[in-house]
Amino acid sequence: MSRFAGKRALVLGVANKRSIAWAIAKRLADEGAELAFTFQGERIESSVRNLAGTVGSKLVTACDVRSDEDVARVFQEVGEVWDGGLDLLVHSVAFAAAEDLEGRFTDTPRDRFWMAVDISAYSLVATARAAEPLLAARGGGSIVTMTYLGGERAVPHYNVMGVAKATLDASVKYLAWDLGEKSIRVNAVSAGPVRTLAARSIAGFTEMERMFEERAPLRRHIDAGDVATAAAYLLSDEAKNVTGTTLYVDAGYHAMGM
Ligand code: NAD
Ligand code: 0WE
C-alpha cells in the first residue's frame, strides 16, 4: 500500500528500535511518507540518527518537550525543509520519575507530579499548537498520540503516569475541537503492555504481562507492529471523519471488568 505517498510526517519519541514511535515511523515510510524525527538527549542521538538514516529521513533534530525554545525551533526547521507544510504528527512521548512508578501514588511530590504532566500531556498541546499552521498550510492533517488504560482506571504502580494520561486523553478531545475547523484530526491509540525501553525497567512488568495474557479476551499480547497498524489507520485519509477518539489495541483487555 502507499497510503502516505507525498505525505510529510514528524515523529517524536523514538529512542531505539523497540520504540512504538519507530514501529509507526517504519510503517509510514513503507507506505511512502517522508519523515523527520526528534530525539531527546545526546545518549540516544546516534541511535535515532542511525534508524532515521534507514528510512531516508529529511531531518533529525533535538527536542526536549519541556522546552518552549526546542519546540519552536523544531517546527521552524520542519517548515524550512518542507516549505512550510506538514501532514502528520506522531506524539509518542511520556516520562515520570522512576521512583513514582512504584510505591504509593499518594506520595508523589508536587514537582514530579507536574513534570510527568508536562512531559507526557502538555507536550501534545505545545506541539499541536506549533504544528497547526504547518498542517493548515496543507489543507489539514492528522495527529496521533499514545495513551494507556491507566489514565482511565487505577492500574497499581502506574500512579502519576495515569494522571498524566487522563490529562492527555482530555487534551485529545479539546484539541480535536479547536483544530477540527482546519481539518486537523487528533486521536489516540491506547496500547496494551509492550516491552519497550520505557516498559522494561518497570517492576512487576512480567507479572502484569502474565495477567494480561489470562484476562484479555484474545488471551495474547500485542506488539508495536499492532500499534503501528492502528496509528497508520488514524493518520491516513481512511480515517478522514475520525477525530477526538481512542482506538484500543489491547486484545480487548479494556472491555473486561474482572
Ligand atoms: P520509549 O521509551 O521507546 O519511548 C518514550 C519516548 O519518550 C522516548 O523516545 C524518550 O526519549 C521520550 N521522552 C521522554 N522524555 C522526553 C522529553 N522530556 N522530551 C522529549 N522526549 C522525551 O517507550 P514507548 O513504550 O515506545 O513509549 C511511547 C509512548 O507509548 C508513551 O507515550 C507511552 O506512555 C505509550 N505507551 C506505552 C505502552 C507500553 O507498554 N510500552 C503502552 C501504552 C502506551
Ligand atoms: O506509559 C507507559 C510507561 C511510561 C514511562 C516509563 C518509564 C520507565 C523509566 C514513563 N516514565 C518512565 N520513567 C522511567 O524512569 N506504559 C504504558 C508502560 C507501563 O508502565 C507501567 C505500566 C505499564 C503498562 C508502570 C506501572 C504499571 C504498569
| Confidence at residue 8, expressed as pLDDT on a 0 to 100 scale | 98
Residue 175's pLDDT band (cuts 50, 70, 90): very high
CB 63 within 8 A of CB 39: yes
Find out whether the beta carbon of 122 lies less than 6 Å from any atom of ligand 1: no
Q: What is the pLDDT of residues 12-50, one digit of tens each?
A: 999 999 999 999 999 999 999 999 999 999 999 999 999
For residue 210, how many C-alpha atoms fall within 13 Å in the half-sphere facing its CB? 4
Name, in order, each residue with C-beta under 8 angstroms of 184's C-beta and a sequence gap of 6 or more: 132, 135, 136, 140, 141, 142, 143
Residue recorded with cell 525497567: 201
Q: What is the pLDDT of residues 112-157, one digit of tens each?
A: 999 999 999 999 999 999 999 999 999 999 999 999 999 999 999 9
The closest ligand to the CA of 145 turns out to be: 1
Residue 168's pLDDT band (cuts 50, 70, 90): very high
The domains of the chain are located at 8-255
| Confidence at residue 197, expressed as pLDDT on a 0 to 100 scale | 86
How far is the C-alpha of 11 from the C-alpha of 251, rounded, in Å?
A: 25
- Tell which one of 104, 161, 209 to mutate to probe ligand 2, the residue whose CB is within 8 A of the most ligand atoms: 161
**Span 8-255: which CATH code?**
3.40.50.720
Nearest atom (ligand 2) to Cα of 165: 1
Q: Is the pLDDT of residue 82 over 80?
A: yes
